Amino acid sequence: MKSRSPLLVVAMLLIIFSSLALFAISNGAWLANVPQRDRERVNPYREQPDAVAAGRRIFVDHCAHCHGDNADGTKKRPSLKSARVQQEATDGDLHWLLVNGNRGQGMPSWVKLGDPQIWQVICYVKSLH
């Protein structure tokens, strides 16, 4: 038993450092990483009158704590009223970001919300310009 324990420790360390190495190379400007197909996706909730209000509810529940109650950003997290989010990024770009996250920069994936809620929160964010 004693001879196996160091092997287990080495295996654990390998797992940890492999993960670290993967994330060290995975950061960068997320917008440049969005595939063209995702960038061009159309928000199916864009024209729905209740989508902004529903998106606001989702935003308050899940996003406001990092990005601020009015999406102005906090000390460490960016404003969602920036030109990059409001003008450069398409709805498809934002959808891609919310699905994939930017884990190396602290942005988690929100895929668990499901597509409809992701599109709704994008409607709200885009309404802030």
Q: Which positions lie near other proteins, rule CB under 8 A? A: 1, 5, 8, 12, 15-16, 18-19, 22-23, 26, 45, 50, 53-55, 57-58, 61-62, 65-66, 99-109, 111-117, 120
Question: Could you tell me the smallest distance in angstroms from the CB atom of residue 72 to other proteins?
Answer: 14
Q: Cβ closer to other proteins: 103 or 129? A: 103
Question: Could you tell me the smallest distance in angstroms from the CB atom of residue 112 to other proteins?
Answer: 5
Q: Cβ closer to other proteins: 13 or 88? A: 13
- d(CA 91, CA 43) in angstroms, rounded, equals 6
What does each C-alpha distance from 106 to 6, 27, 44, 91 come to in angstroms?
Answer: 32, 10, 28, 21
Our measurement of the distance from residue 4's CA atom to the centroid of its chain's CA atoms, rounded to an integer in Å, reads 41
Q: Cβ closer to other proteins: 35 or 87? A: 35
